[in-house]
Every structure is written in structure tokens, then in C-alpha cells.
């Protein structure tokens, strides 16, 4: 027998594929429309004029032909919805942005060729979907919706029940069939060829089904993610994989794997916790959560966001907010014009799943006092916190523009999520952005100013050190230090509607350094005794000019 090789195999160290310069914008292809023009071309023109100087990553939400769920029920993964534009329009963005797209791989549309072929027992598609007859015990299945799990369909072999995690129109794919995985790999190659280098794995937690289990976070799902990462990085070493797993925090963190699954994971607990913080004027839960978050290791990072095209997920706050606190948050959201979507538990009970409301409307006031005059300041403060946290910041287009609730759009579609999916007329939007006292212009300009400042601070690298500071329940504060330890930033944010004063002696401002607020330019020295923060005021005190 040959002797065993005793030399260790050294794995190549993981590299960070991002810096403090990276900021992401999220938008639908048709969030901004102009009559007679393909929306992707309208979006491109807007991005060139208003975004590219401030933001370098762009996530265009599903742009393929679809039958429901605003793009997440894909009919054909290989083409661009002709109502939006064509592949040339997509490719143009790649010249100016690191482009991100969705791999809607858990399910596809009933109107897809694959599903039609499933019903006629022809290829491709005849074994691409799950026949529920293979399962005996579905009692433990975790549901993100209140709709039935199974849906009946007529096939050439008679009636069958297919698996529908999200809706009757979105039929789950069968990843136990290797041909399905091969189809997804072909789609990945196509997207890479079109200039897409960041892949969002939509609803990936539900990918693998196993009889008698909860059918979420299965070990096979994690193995599939590892395989997809290997394939994607082999095809394009610079590519990035991000998992969309809107679940409680501990489960979400598992998708980093051992440095071999997601490069980025969404910080799903941040939106409900930060919203509760801003509406309650108390940051204790946010601080406790942040102290419990492990720093992302090299080659991994958190994607921080407060709002997205979906609602504000409430499941990630489970175990973090008490029942009373969650109830107060929900009632305040309703008072500010929002809706609450429900899911069904394995026991058959309905429980809150997400809050459907525009982020700007959600910050109209407080839990205690209702609407007030601090909406703009509260809103900017929340985003200032997000910009300073460990991780990459991501802005939904309607967060950048401070779009209000679209109650009309929700009524017309019958979908609660439409409240936060307004479609702007390009002309109406430009008029707002040209009006000095428009809140849309005020917010958009100030957020872009703070984004620009953030991108210049090495202490805000997504993997830079972060420590929580303690200045009471009304000031959310933390310290960041750059990877090379040359820059420190003390980030202090008043999350209440009352002024706050912080003694400078409580900050470790090294006497040999010059300290100043990079947000406003104020300097601090040994003659200063305190920092005064107005309601929702923020300072980023740095030792770098």
C-alpha cells in the first residue's frame, strides 16, 4: 500500500469582492416609465443621470416574461419581457454597474413551456415538477403563505397534485431530477454572457422537499448552493452569490455555510428591528441583536437594507420583539396606511408574515404619538444607520425617492405588495426632483450626499471592525475601524424625537488625533465637552480628513 500523503492541502484564502465604495440600488425594470419608450431604456437614462455617480451596483428585479407576482413567476428564463425591452438593454447597464439579477429557481410559471410539457408528459419538462403522490406526510411543511400547498392539474396521465409553495401559479421545480439543475446551469451561463455577475437565489430555503420534514433549510439545499457557487465561480471568478432567505436570524446565518455557500446574505432582521427602533424611540432590541451578530468572515458579508420590493418581513423579528411590541408595531403600520400579510403555520394558524407599506410612509410618526413633524429626519436617520453598519448598503428605488404608499396600485392589482411598487411617470418624477421643497428631492439629494461620504471612509468597509457603544436607549451608537486600523469612526444616531447630549469623555477620542464629523464638518478637540444631537440627528466622528 502506498504511504498516505502527509502534506496538508492549503485552501486559497477567500478574498473580499467588495469595498466601502460598494452600494446597491434595487429596482424593477418598469419602476420608471415614459410613454412610447421601453422601460429598461427609461431606467437606463435615469441611472445615467441620477445614480451612477453615487451607486455602483444595480439589481434589476425579474425582467423575464412572467404570469404573476410582478416577475417572480417566470414563463421563459432565456428572454427579456418585450414590454420592458430586450437583452441589449440589459447588457448596457453592465458597462456602468455591477449587475445583479434573480435566479428564480424554486418555482416557475404554470404558463411556462416546462409546465405545459409536464402536463403532456413530453420533454423538456415532463419530470421537472413535484407530484405530491410521492409524499405521505406534509403536516410539518413550513409555509410562507396562507394559500394551499398543493394544486390540482389535469395531465395526460390524469389529475395530479403539484407543489406550490407560494401560489397556484408558481409551481415548484423538482431538484431531485438532475435535468432541472442542468437547466439552471444553462441559465446561469446565459446570464453571465449578458454581463450579470451577481446572482440572487430567490426563495432558495424551500428548494428541497423531503417527506415528513419541514421542507425548509434541508441539508440538500445547502449542498445545492455549494454546487451552484462552485459552478458560478468557475465560469466567472468575480461572480457573487446572494441567498434570499427571509427567515429567523439564526437560520439565515446558516447560508454562509463554511465559506462555501453565499458570499452575501440579506440582513433580514434589520428592517423590522430598525423600523421598530425608529417608531418606538428605543434602540435596546437593535443593540442586543447587533451584539449577537457574528462578524462576517473574510470573503463573506451582510447585505444591509431597510426596504425592498417585498414587504418588511416580520418573521426575522421573531424571538427579538415581544408579542406586545410586535402588536404595537403592526397597529402603527396599519395606522400609517399599511397592510399586514399572513402566513399559515403547520398547525393551521394564521400569523403575521410581512408588513406591506412604503418605507417613507412607515416613518410618518411614532408608536406613542402617531404622525408628527419628524418624518423626513426620522427617515434620513434610519438610512444613515444602515450606511454605517458592517456590510454592504442596499437601497430600494422607492426608498431613495421617498415614495409614499401606492394605495391605488394596491387596489388595482389586489396584491398588498403593490403598495410599495409604485410606477413613476418619468416626467412626474423629474418634476418632483426639480422642485426644491419636494420631499422627494430633499430625501434623494441628502441620501446621495451621505452615500458619497460613506464611500470615502475606509472604516466603512463591509468587513471593517464594529463594536456596539452604550449611550442609553435613545442613542444607537457603534464604533468602526478600517481593516488597516488607520481610520476610526464613532457613529452616533439619535433615534428619538427628543434632543440628546453625549459627554465627549465617554468617547475614546485619542488626544493626538484631530476628530471631526464627516457628515457635517464639525471639529472636536479637548475644549469640547459634549455632543448635542437634535431629534434624529446623526454624527460620524472620524480621525481622518
Task: Note the pLDDT of residue 198.
Answer: 98
**Pair (405, 527) in one structural domain:** no
Question: What is the value of pTM for the model shown?
Answer: 0.95
DSSP 70: G
Does the N-terminal peptide bond of residue 124 adopt cis geometry, omega within 30 degrees of 0? Answer: yes
* Rama region for 536: left / alpha / beta (φ>0; ψ in -120 to 50; rest): left
Q: What are 455-467's pLDDT values in tens digits?
A: 999 999 999 999 9
- Residue where a domain stops, chosen among 457, 480, 512: 457
**Which tens digits make up the pLDDT trace of 356-376?**
999 999 999 999 999 999 999
377 and 525 belong to one structural domain: no
User: Does residue 148 belong to any structural domain of this protein?
Assistant: no
**What is the arithmetic mean of pLDDT over 232-261?**
94
Given this model, what pLDDT does residue 348 score? 84
Residue 3's pLDDT is what?
46
Whether 152 is covered by a domain: the verdict is no
Per the structure block, which three cell numbers stand in for 12?
Answer: 486559497
Integer Cα distance of 486 and 20 in angstroms: 14
> pLDDT at residue 254 above 80?
yes
502 and 401 share one domain: no
The predicted model gives 172-182 an average pLDDT of 98
In a domain, 120, yes or no: no
Of 492 and 342, the structure prediction assigns the larger pLDDT to 492
Q: Do 403 and 474 sit in the same domain of this protein?
A: no
Residue 481 C-alpha cell reads as 475601524
Of 437, 457, 477, the residue at which a domain comes to its end is 457
Q: Which residue has the higher pLDDT, 9 or 248?
A: 248
Residue 406 lies inside a defined structural domain of this protein: yes
Q: What's the whole-number average pLDDT of the chain? A: 95
* Band of residue 14 on the pLDDT scale cut at 50, 70, 90: low
Given a cut of 50, is residue 415 above it in pLDDT? yes
Instruction: Name the more confident of 544 and 234.
Output: 234
Residue 344 assigned as binding residue: no
What whole-number distance in Å separates Cα of residue 234 and Cα of residue 228?
10
Q: Are residues 433 and 294 in the same domain?
A: yes
User: Is 336 within a domain?
Assistant: yes
**Pairwise CA distance, residues 270 & 316, whole Å:** 8
Report whether 127 belongs to an annotated binding site.
no
- List the CATH number of the domain containing 81: 3.20.20.80
- Residue 32 grid coordinates: 420608471
Instruction: Report pLDDT for 1.
Output: 40
**pLDDT value of residue 5:** 46
**pLDDT surpassing 80 at residue 275:** yes
Give 48-82 pLDDT, tens digit per residue. 999 999 999 999 999 999 999 999 999 999 999 99
Are 426 and 512 members of one domain? no
- Annotated binding-site residue? 107: yes
Catalytic residues: 202
Per cent of the chain over pLDDT 70 is 97
470 is in an annotated binding site: no
How many C-beta atoms lie closer than 10 Å to residue 154's C-beta? 9
Phi, psi of 198 (to 5 degrees): -120, 125
pLDDT in tens, 462-513: 999 999 999 999 999 999 999 999 999 999 999 999 999 999 989 988 777 8
**Strand ranges for 397-483 from DSSP E:** 424-425, 465-470, 475-481
Same domain, 419 and 478: no
The answer on pLDDT for 99 being more than 60 is yes
Q: What percent of the chain has pLDDT over 90?
A: 89
Q: Which domain holds residue 102?
A: 24-111+172-457
Specify whether the CB–CB gap between 73 and 169 falls below 8 A: yes
Residue 545, pLDDT score: 55
Closest listed residue to residue 451, CA positions, set 396, 511, 500, 388:
388
pLDDT: is 224 or 320 the higher one? Answer: 224
Crossing angle of helices 426-433/39-46, nearest 10°? Answer: 20
C-alpha to C-alpha distance for 234 and 136, rounded to whole angstroms: 39
CATH of the domain at 473: 2.60.40.1180
In a domain, 153, yes or no: no
Out of 457, 479, 510, a domain closes at 457
Q: Is 24 annotated for ligand binding?
A: no
Residues 476 and 450 in one domain: no
- What are the phi and psi torsion angles at 136 (to 5°)? -105, -35
Are 335 and 469 members of one domain?
no
Clarify whether residues 500 and 421 are in a common domain. Answer: no
Helix H or strand E segment including 107 = strand 107-109
Q: Is residue 126 part of a domain?
A: no
Mean pLDDT of 324-343: 96
417 carries a ligand binding annotation: yes
Does 255 lie in the same domain as 194?
Answer: yes
How far apart CA 72 and CA 243 sit, in angstroms, is 15
Give a yes or no: residue 161 inside a domain.
no
Ligand-binding site membership of 309 (annotated): yes
List the one residue out of 428, 377, 376, 388 whose CA is nearest residue 406: 428
User: Any residues with CB less than 8 A from the CB of 393 and at least 6 apart, and which?
Assistant: 23, 24, 304, 305, 386, 387, 451, 454
Q: Do both 375 and 479 map to the same domain?
A: no
What domain count does the chain have? 2
User: Cα separation of 313 and 445, whole Å?
Assistant: 28
Predicted local confidence at residue 331, as pLDDT: 98
pLDDT band at 13 (very low <50, low <70, confident <90, very high): low
69 is in an annotated binding site: yes
Amino acid at each position: 500500500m502506498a504511504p498516505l500523503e502527509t502534506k496538508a492541502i492549503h485552501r486559497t484564502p477567500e478574498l473580499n469582492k467588495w469595498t466601502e465604495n460598494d452600494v446597491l440600488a434595487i429596482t424593477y425594470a418598469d419602476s420608471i416609465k415614459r410613454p412610447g419608450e421601453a422601460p429598461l431604456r427609461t431606467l437606463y437614462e435615469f441611472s445615467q443621470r441620477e445614480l451612477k455617480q453615487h451607486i455602483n451596483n444595480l439589481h434589476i428585479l425579474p425582467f423575464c416574461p412572467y404570469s404573476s407576482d410582478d416577475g417572480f413567476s417566470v414563463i421563459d428564463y432565456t428572454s427579456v419581457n418585450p414590454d420592458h425591452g430586450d437583452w441589449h438593454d440589459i447588457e448596457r447597464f453592465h458597462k456602468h454597474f455591477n449587475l445583479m439579477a434573480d435566479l428564480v429557481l424554486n418555482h416557475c410559471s404554470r404558463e411556462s413551456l416546462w409546465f405545459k410539457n409536464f402536463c403532456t408528459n413530453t420533454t423538456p419538462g415532463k419530470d421537472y415538477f413535484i407530484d405530491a403522490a410521492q409524499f405521505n406526510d406534509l403536516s410539518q411543511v413550513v409555509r410562507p403563505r396562507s394559500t394551499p400547498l398543493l394544486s390540482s392539474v389535469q395531465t395526460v396521465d390524469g389529475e395530479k397534485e403539484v407543489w406550490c409553495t407560494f401560489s397556484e401559479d408558481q409551481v415548484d421545480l423538482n431538484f431531485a431530477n438532475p435535468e432541472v439543475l442542468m437547466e439552471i446551469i444553462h441559465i446561469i451561463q446565459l446570464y453571465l454572457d449578458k454581463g450579470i455577475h451577481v446572482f440572487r437565489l430567490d426563495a432558495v430555503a424551500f428548494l428541497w422537499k423531503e417527506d415528513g420534514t419541514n421542507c425548509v433549510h434541508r441539508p440538500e439545499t445547502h449542498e445545492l448552493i455549494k454546487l451552484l457557487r462552485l459552478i458560478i465561480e468557475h465560469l466567472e471568478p468575480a461572480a457573487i452569490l446572494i441567498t434570499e432567505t427571509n427567515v429567523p436570524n439564526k437560520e439565515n446565518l446558516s447560508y454562509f455555510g463554511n465559506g462555501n455557500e453565499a458570499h452575501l446574505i440579506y440582513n433580514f432582521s434589520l428592517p423590522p428591528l430598525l423600523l421598530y427602533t425608529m417608531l418606538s424611540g428605543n434602540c435596546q432590541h437593535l443593540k442586543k441583536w447587533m451584539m449577537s451578530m457574528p462578524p462576517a468572515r473574510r470573503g463573506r458579508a451582510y447585505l444591509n437594507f431597510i426596504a425592498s420590493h417585498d414587504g418588511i418581513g416580520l418573521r426575522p423579528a421573531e424571538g427579538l420583539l415581544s408579542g406586545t411590541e410586535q402588536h404595537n408595531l403592526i397597529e402603527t403600520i396599519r395606522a400609517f396606511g399599511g397592510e399586514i400579510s399572513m402566513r399559515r403555520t403547520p398547525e393551521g394558524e394564521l400569523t403575521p408574515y410581512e408588513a406591506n407599506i412604503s418605507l417613507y410612509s412607515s416613518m410618518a410618526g411614532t408608536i406613542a404619538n402617531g404622525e408628527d413633524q419628524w418624518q423626513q429626519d426620522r427617515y434620513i436617520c434610519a438610512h444613515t444607520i444602515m450606511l454605517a453598519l458592517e456590510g454592504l448598503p442596499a437601497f430600494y428605488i422607492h426608498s431613495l425617492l421617498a415614495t409614499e404608499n401606492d394605495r391605488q396600485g394596491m387596489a388595482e392589482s389586489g396584491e398588498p405588495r403593490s403598495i410599495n411598487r409604485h410606477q413613476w411617470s418619468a416626467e412626474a418624477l423629474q418634476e418632483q426632483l426639480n422642485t426644491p421643497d419636494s420631499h422627494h428631492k430633499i430625501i434623494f439629494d441628502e441620501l446621495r450626499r451621505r452615500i458619497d461620504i460613506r464611500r470615502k471612509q475606509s472604516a466603512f468597509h463591509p468587513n471593517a471592525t464594529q463594536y456596539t457603544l452604550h449611550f442609553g436607549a435613545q442613542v444607537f451608537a457603534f464604533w468602526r475601524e478600517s481593516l488597516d486600523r488607520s481610520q476610526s469612526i464613532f457613529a452616533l444616531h439619535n433615534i428619538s424625537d427628543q434632543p440628546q447630549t453625549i459627554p465627549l469623555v465617554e468617547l475614546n477620542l485619542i488626544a493626538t488625533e484631530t476628530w471631526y464629523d464627516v457628515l457635517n464638518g464639525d471639529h472636536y478637540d479637548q475644549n469640547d465637552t459634549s455632543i448635542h444631537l437634535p431629534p434624529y440627528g446623526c454624527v460620524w466622528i472620524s480621525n481622518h480628513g
